[in-house]
Amino acid sequence: MAGVTVSPFPTPSLSRDLQNETSMPTLIHSLVGQKSSVLSLAATDQYIFSGSQAEDILVWNKDTFTLKATLSGHEGAVMALEVAKEKEWLFSSSGDSTVRVWSTKTLKPLYVLKPYLEDGAGDIFSLAWLPSMQTIFIGCQNTSLQWFSFSNDAPSQAESVTSTDVAPSSSSGTSTPLSSSYTRQAHKFFDSYPRFERRPADLNARNGTPRPTGRGTPDSGHSEDVPPSMQLNIPSINVIDPAHFGYIYCMTLLTGTGDGITRLATGSGDEGIKLWKCLPGGPEFEHEFTFDRGAILSIVAKGDTIYAGCQDGYVKVVDLETKTLIRTIIVEEGVDILSISLLNSDMFTCAANGCVKRWSSSFDCIASWRGHSGIALSSIVTQRGQGFYLVTGGNDSSIKIWDILPSSRTVSQELQSSPCFGPTAADVLTHALSKFVAIPSVSSEPSRKEDCRQTAIWLRKCLGQLGAHTSLLPTGEGNNPLVLATFQGTLGGHRKPRVLFYGHYDVISAPPHGWNSDPFTVTGKNGYLYGRGVTDNKGPILAVACAAADLLSRRALGLDLVMLIEGEEECGSIGFGDAVRKHKDAIGEVDAILVSNSTWITDDRPCITYGLRGVVHCNIEVRSIDYTQPDLDQHFLQIASQLPDLHSGIEGGGVVEPMVDMVKLLASLTDNQNKVLIPQFYDTVREQTEKEKDLYGLLSEITHKPASSLAARWREPSLTIHTIEISGPKNATVIPGSVKAQVSLRIVPDQDLQTIIDALTEYLRSAYQTFQSPNKIQITVDHSADWWLGSLDDPWFKALENAVKEEWGEEPLRIREGGSIPSVPWLEKEFGCHALHLPMGQGSDQAHLPNERISLINLNKGKSVVERFLTKTADEQFLTHLRNAN
């Protein structure tokens, strides 16, 4: 479409688009009664009620969809409607600071209820009726929560309302006269106006101007003002002021909880939800949920779960029993969620862009459509016969009636037999992974710097939707940020353990040659998912996050899981250490570190990694100079080193060539048996124990590789020459003026990292001096990482090993890795606790190579292993054992 910019990045929401023609609702009818916004909706078996900006309540017949009556009486926009089904009452609240009560049978007025302080309460945005206590709760603009209890002697049928009827007793409210020409007076704050103009700023406040009479007849639904005896005031004792630090926009009741206590949830402009116990003496504050996503504009509840629509386009899902945030649904960023409705376990959201969406119990979007040409302001779900209607209202002056089916009938039989029907936790994991991989977060390529930043932003939102508290931590100018996410476990009688999971969202480059599919599009084939990063390290990151989210949703997460995900691991973890130290308070205390950034030794036996080699990366450069001028100062030597390359036919034999120096120097590093010749290099290498020898023997039988080969790769140090680069055009006639080489050492227990670095640089300089070459040498160590060895007797290791055994049904192999992960030993030392390494991928996963892949079985079982591990380590018996071990 012309003029529409499509973002190159996938939507950050984890909710999958599972739309199908059969899941879309059918528009049954459109209702237009006035040229006015539809702010509120309610329904009974017979009628649909709509509250308008134009101060009236329109009553629509459900059978014929015709306008039955217009209920007039309010002097401001009708903000909220609430049905008391057992009393056949309709409550309506307005910008005129009143609540009116109507009979849903006769459509006649019953009461006018005025809040404490009357106009001082401002607009009344929300209502909730509690049948068991015969109480109406109201949420006010002045931030107060008020309530009124109707006694049993109050008439419940319109036919019984006469001028001699007695209003509720003074214990609940008091009766006050109200003339038939009453209009709301200007309020000194809400209706302030410039004194010199002497006119109201709020045109809806008539400020004493009598309302026009004769707006209708009883037949058309116009209601005369109620008798003075039925005009009620809320007493001061029925007020909590302030209940919030913002307008109370919405409220809902939670019934059927485990303790039998009904609760009221209120949402406010202060970005929070408060829970109140509904007690005979009035609401009692119980708990507050605070968010940072703008005002809470809509709220519904089912059982112990609260769904709150926020100003920024998010829906927060919180659990009443554990008092935790269990999910964040990104409906549409930056677009207010003005109304939410529920049908069984499905949720409907109405947004300020007119879009209506349906969400399944697993928070997948199963239908999305343009509900209104303007803003979708209100919605309800109401039953009609054996079916259901979704009724929506907008500022386009229309009410839309949508025919919707319960979840079990929203999809065809074909879809029910499809693998994607009935989404599970595994579906969420693979769906999220497809979005994660789609962003090419290659940290080594400057052109991908923004992709890396967008990946961090996406991951933060993803983990937030799964229930974590998230933030981005800077790592220095030009570096990719850290993602910090904390899944907070349920409260218990003991201090909760805290496990830190470390991973990285950056990936190695993916040149297209050699790939059978797009590297940045997850492609499924024969039980594997292919794509750059699926196994290193995006798949394991999401597996761990989904494990925590599932435990959290089942109220079974008994510890805190802190996820620390960096974006520079493939470039040496630039800025990682400084950032962690700077934000250590935000990370908090840590009892154990979990890593999942490697693969099994084979394809068919689960493993646990308990050792990593360290690494020292060294750059060497040899540069030629004009040695015929021995008295050159240092400045001129630097200039001379940049002289052009020479022609071998002209200068060959007349100069000392840098390439010859470099070759001789590199050759001096090892002998004919590939032993490193650096003095004392092997002196501190830990001896191999008999237990290790037995382990290598077992692994040799499984892998069909010599035990000596495994030991050489995992527990013995090594030296590698990676590259040699030359200046010049790189043809056979040129003597390069500069030659560069990259060399690395892999170190093992108990070699000291700094000692090895010093020994390497000193050896290179000493060896070069023996050449007596006039050329200059430069040696730099740009990256290093220490070795790591886990503790096999540690209770945390045993818990992880048992979790793997239970999930896979066999003992995991204990393996080591020849590679290095700099952050693992560093984190272990920094937080003073043991690290654990759980490889999820198979040996054939092709990490860093074309066609990188991960098995679906491994990915899902890896998630299950983490669930088992987190459950075990939060168990009281484990914690007791841990305390005894320490």
Phi, psi of 56 (to 5 degrees): -105, 160
The yes-or-no verdict on residue 8 having pLDDT over 80 is no
Residue 6 lies in a domain: no
Q: pLDDT-based confidence at 882, cuts 50/70/90?
A: confident
Structure confidence at residue 720 (pLDDT):
96
pLDDT tens by residue, 783-815: 899 999 999 999 999 999 999 999 999 999 999
Residue 44 lies in a domain: no
pLDDT tens by residue, 262-277: 999 999 999 999 999 9
Structure confidence at residue 7 (pLDDT):
54
pLDDT tens by residue, 681-725: 999 999 999 999 999 999 999 999 999 999 999 999 999 999 999
Give the mean model confidence (pLDDT) for residues 473-491. Answer: 94
- The CA-based angle 85-86-88, given to 5 degrees, is 60
Give the mean model confidence (pLDDT) for residues 734-755. Answer: 95
Residue 727 lies in a domain: yes
Q: What is the CATH number of the domain that holds 643?
A: 3.30.70.360
Using CA atoms, how far apart are residues 35 and 30, in angstroms rounded to an integer? Answer: 14
Task: Based on the fold, state whether residues 582 and 662 are members of the same structural domain.
Answer: no
pLDDT tens by residue, 369-394: 999 999 999 999 999 877 899 999 99
Using CA atoms, how far apart are residues 885 and 310, in angstroms rounded to an integer? Answer: 47
Structure confidence at residue 21 (pLDDT):
64
Using CA atoms, how far apart are residues 733 and 128, in angstroms rounded to an integer? Answer: 89
Order across the sheet with 523-525: list the strands.
Answer: 523-525, 528-530, 853-855
Residue 293 lies in a domain: yes
Residue 367 lies in a domain: yes
| Range of lowest pLDDT (149-163, 411-425, 560-574, 791-805) | 411-425
Structure confidence at residue 493 (pLDDT):
63
Task: Based on the fold, state whether residues 476 and 552 are members of the same structural domain.
Answer: yes
Q: How many domains does the chain have?
A: 5
Q: Which residue has the higher pLDDT, 6 or 23?
A: 23
The yes-or-no verdict on residue 189 having pLDDT over 90 is no
Cα four-point dihedral sign 704, 527, 611, 567: positive
Structure confidence at residue 427 (pLDDT):
79
Spatial neighbors of 380 by CB under 8 A, at least 6 apart, are 41, 42, 43, 341, 390, 391
Give the mean model confidence (pLDDT) for residues 101-121. Answer: 93
Structure confidence at residue 117 (pLDDT):
87
pLDDT tens by residue, 600-637: 999 999 999 999 999 999 999 999 876 555 554 554 44
Give the mean model confidence (pLDDT) for residues 33-55. Answer: 95
Task: Based on the fold, state whether residues 402 and 455 are members of the same structural domain.
Answer: no
Residue 42 lies in a domain: no
The DSSP symbol for 599 reads: B
Domain of residue 382 covers: 18-33+343-421
Residue 336 lies in a domain: no
Q: Rounded mean pLDDT of the chain?
A: 86
Q: Which residue has the higher pLDDT, 731 or 54?
A: 54
Peptide bond connecting 750 to the previous residue in cis, omega within 30 degrees of 0: yes
Q: Do 305 and 320 contact (CB within 8 A), yes or no?
A: yes
| Range of lowest pLDDT (23-32, 354-363, 576-585) | 23-32
Give the mean model confidence (pLDDT) for residues 173-181. Answer: 37
Q: pLDDT-based confidence at 199, cuts 50/70/90?
A: very low
Pick from 758, 784, 810: which residue ends a domain? 784
CB count in 10 Å sphere of residue 825: 19
CB count in 10 Å sphere of residue 693: 12
Q: pLDDT-based confidence at 639, cuts 50/70/90?
A: very low
Q: Do 541 and 503 contact (CB within 8 A), yes or no?
A: yes
Task: Based on the fold, state whether residues 558 and 507 are members of the same structural domain.
Answer: yes
Give the mean model confidence (pLDDT) for residues 235-243. Answer: 95
DSSP 520-559: TS-EEETTEEESTTTTTTHHHHHHHHHHHHHHHHTT---S
Pick from 239, 259, 292: which residue ends a domain? 239
| Range of lowest pLDDT (279-283, 438-442, 523-527, 658-662) | 523-527
Q: In the numeric block, which tokens belong to residue 153? A: 């002697």
Residue 39 lies in a domain: no
Using CA atoms, how far apart are residues 293 and 330, in angstroms rounded to an integer? Answer: 11
Pick from 373, 392, 421: which residue ends a domain? 421
Q: In the numeric block, which tokens belong to residue 260? A: 């039998």
Question: How many Å is the maximal CA-CA distance in the chain?
Answer: 124
Cα four-point dihedral sign 446, 818, 712, 699: negative
**Shortest CA distance to 72 belongs to which of 94, 97, 43?**
94
Give the mean model confidence (pLDDT) for residues 327-336. Answer: 93
Q: Which residue has the higher pLDDT, 439 or 362?
A: 439
The yes-or-no verdict on residue 475 having pLDDT over 50 is yes
Structure confidence at residue 210 (pLDDT):
40
Q: What is the CATH number of the domain that holds 297?
A: 2.40.10.480
Task: Based on the fold, state whether residues 523 and 651 are members of the same structural domain.
Answer: no
The DSSP symbol for 506 reads: -
Structure confidence at residue 408 (pLDDT):
57
Q: In the numeric block, which tokens belong to residue 364? A: 């997948």
Task: Based on the fold, state whether residues 665 and 803 are members of the same structural domain.
Answer: no
Spatial neighbors of 212 by CB under 8 A, at least 6 apart, are none
Say which residue the tokens 């054992």 belong to.
881
Q: Which percentage of the chain shows pLDDT scores above 90? A: 70
Task: Based on the fold, state whether residues 752 and 816 are members of the same structural domain.
Answer: no
Long-range contacts of residues 269-272, Cβ cutoff 8 Å, at least 24 apart: 269/244, 269/295, 269/296, 270/244, 270/245, 270/246, 270/295, 271/246, 271/295, 271/296, 271/310, 272/244, 272/296
Q: Do 301 and 318 contact (CB within 8 A), yes or no?
A: no
By residue count, the chain amounts to 886
Task: Based on the fold, state whether residues 208 and 257 are members of the same structural domain.
Answer: no
Cα torsion through 706, 707, 710, 715, rounded to 10:
-150
Q: What is the CATH number of the domain that holds 430?
A: 3.40.630.10
Task: Based on the fold, state whether residues 441 and 565 are members of the same structural domain.
Answer: yes
| Range of lowest pLDDT (217-226, 396-405, 520-529) | 217-226
Q: Is 76 left (phi over 0), alpha (psi -120 to 50) or beta?
A: beta
Spatial neighbors of 770 by CB under 8 A, at least 6 apart, are none
Using CA atoms, how far apart are residues 335 and 441, in angstroms rounded to an integer? Answer: 28
The yes-or-no verdict on residue 195 having pLDDT over 60 is no
Give the mean model confidence (pLDDT) for residues 81-103. Answer: 96
Q: Quick one: how far is CA 316 from the chain centroid?
A: 11
Structure confidence at residue 322 (pLDDT):
87
Using CA atoms, how far apart are residues 255 and 257, in angstroms rounded to an integer? Answer: 6
Task: Based on the fold, state whether residues 848 and 811 are members of the same structural domain.
Answer: yes
DSSP 19-40: --GGGS-EEEEEE--SSS-EEE
Task: Based on the fold, state whether residues 82 and 231 are members of the same structural domain.
Answer: yes
Spatial neighbors of 408 by CB under 8 A, at least 6 apart, are none
Task: Based on the fold, state whether residues 186 and 292 are members of the same structural domain.
Answer: no
Structure confidence at residue 424 (pLDDT):
61
Structure confidence at residue 215 (pLDDT):
38
Structure confidence at residue 643 (pLDDT):
53
Per the confidence metrics, is the pTM higher than 0.85? no
